[in-house]
Amino acid sequence: MIKYLLLAPVLTGILCLISKKQKQIEIINLLGSVATLLLGLALVISVFQDGVIVTWKDVLFADAFSAYLVLIVSLVGFATSVYSVGYMGYEIKHGAMDLKRLRLYYCLFHIFMFSMLLVGVTNILGLWIAIELTTLVSAPLIILYSKKSSVEAAWKYLIICTVGITFALFGTILTYYAAVQVFDGSEGAIDWLSLVSVADQFDPVLMKIAFIFVLIGYGTKAGLAPMHTWLPDAHSEAPSPVSAMLSGVLLNCAMYAIIRFRTLTAPSTGTEFTSNLMIAFGLLSVGIAVPFIILQKDYKRLLAYSSVEHMGIIAIGIGFGGILGISGALLHMFNHAMTKPLMFFGAGNVLLKYGTKEIDKVSGVVRSMPFTGTMLLLGGLAITGAPPFGIFISEFMVLAAGFSQGNIISTVLVLLFIIMIFAGFFSHISRMALGTPNSDVRGEVSRWTLGAMALLMVFVLVPGLYIPPQLYEMIMKVVEVLVVP
């Protein structure tokens, strides 16, 4: 099952690369992402019915948390591949792209999907390889247009994330060393299940050093402050569908890695150590986003800084811990993964029609592009945590966990930051969406882009109104994997 799930995007990528016509490439892309989505859903169902899957010499493995990540990646991947048909089709029609680049784009897009799916379904060392692979595949996607600014952004991204990932590998090797000491001489196990089962016997000092390296390393990739400096550049310079994938799912993949290592570290060092670190990095991330969001001039950077904020909230939720904190953080991962791509899709449409990324030069989107404008407004409300959208619920859960754990100061700080971000962010978005159009822009980009946005809007709205029992049950199963006694 896992093998087929990994094979589907690779095959699609290769087929896209060797196709001749634009129509052909687009059809292969759509069929491929439908196949990936269906296989992903099949994996999720089989994990929740029959429990953990281990195949192929223990290299591939899937438990509830893996399935949860696979669900997020394949859902957003599907929506983005639909959006890409509209977005890239428009670019081709207006001469900003050629067929050669289109082929490369779809090929890399599906390999990118493969690398992110791999993050979820492998062991601790494979995880590192998969995350490094995501960097290597997404860097060429950022410089697709080879503009001066995107070359700079890609270089920063590649260098900073490679250094980060090197730190993470060091932490991983130290963890492996701790495991080798416990298993005494025989080859140390590297799959999550056997590691977790002996995690309480690890050398606590070694694990403390290992966790710091892992947190800084994967934290760089997850966009936690102060290692987030590459993020606004890369996410704003990439083509909009790529920005959606980077912000929506790639950040979650890195966060997944941190959360996994927390379950290995906390049994020996005590949860206080990991919690304090995660709360500190999380608070810094949310806090740093405030001024950059309020004073922002570029709407794609605005969305990128909002991603820094939300990654901070997830880290804080995990840091608060307990069933409420962890399930809140998990639900927040899902909600952010649905809402942020929706916003980037809307921003992409605006960029195509208005031709500028400056907030001040865009107004009246609701009138010129009614559907995109409405989605931007609603998405803006959703992403800043207004009811009745999903993010409101998950932020509420995280804050409630903070209060119930007695972390009053940090919880109040988060609450304050979130309110300031709400005001700053929403004033920018409403200025763009409302008012009279300042140029003769008329009409939507393409039906494909609208379909992708409508699909995501369902997932943005539903968890806010009521949490389906399936999703609830799923999150509870993941919490079981992650709670450290």
Q: Where do contacts with other proteins occur on this chain (CB under 8 A)?
A: 57, 59, 125-126, 128-129, 132-133, 135-136, 139-140, 143, 146, 148-149, 151-156, 158-159, 162-163, 166-167, 169-170, 173-174, 176-177, 180-181, 184-185, 187-188, 190, 203, 205-206, 209, 232-233, 237, 292
Quote the CA–CA distance of 360 and 290 in Å, as a whole number: 19
Contact of 385 with 328, CB cutoff 8 Å: no
Contact of 80 with 449, CB cutoff 8 Å: no
Q: Least distance (Å) from other proteins to the CB of residue 98? A: 18
The packing angle between helices 408-433 and 271-294, to 10°, is 30
Contact of 35 with 12, CB cutoff 8 Å: yes
Q: Least distance (Å) from other proteins to the CB of residue 183? A: 11
Q: Least distance (Å) from other proteins to the CB of residue 422? A: 22
Provide the CB-side half-sphere exposure for 258 (13 A, CA): 37
Quote the CA–CA distance of 477 and 327 in Å, as a whole number: 10
Specify the residue for token string 């999150």: 475
Q: Least distance (Å) from other proteins to the CB of residue 225? A: 14
Nearer CB in complex with other proteins: 159/423? 159
Nearer CB in complex with other proteins: 19/236? 236
Nearer CB in complex with other proteins: 169/376? 169
- For 11, other C-beta atoms within 10 Å of its C-beta total 17
Nearest CA-CA partner of 247 in 337, 180, 330: 337
Nearer CB in complex with other proteins: 188/223? 188
Q: Tell me the residue type at 328.
A: G
Nearer CB in complex with other proteins: 59/471? 59
Nearer CB in complex with other proteins: 203/444? 203
Nearer CB in complex with other proteins: 56/466? 56
Provide the CB-side half-sphere exposure for 99 (13 A, CA): 8
Q: Least distance (Å) from other proteins to the CB of residue 188? A: 7
Nearer CB in complex with other proteins: 79/253? 253
Q: Is the dihedral of CA 31, 36, 42, 48 positive or negative?
A: negative
Q: Least distance (Å) from other proteins to the CB of residue 154? A: 6
Q: Least distance (Å) from other proteins to the CB of residue 49? A: 30
Nearest CA-CA partner of 433 in 387, 386, 375, 388: 375
Residue 54 belongs to what H/E stretch? strand 53-55
Q: Least distance (Å) from other proteins to the CB of residue 377? A: 26
Q: Least distance (Å) from other proteins to the CB of residue 221? A: 14
Write the CB contacts of 281 (distance below 8 Å, at least 6 apart in sequence).
Answer: 215, 219, 224, 225, 312, 315
Quote the CA–CA distance of 453 and 456 in Å, as a whole number: 5
Quote the CA–CA distance of 154 and 68 in Å, as a whole number: 29
Nearer CB in complex with other proteins: 68/112? 112
Residue 154: is it exposed, middle or buried by C-beta count within 10 angstroms (0-12/13-18/19+)? buried
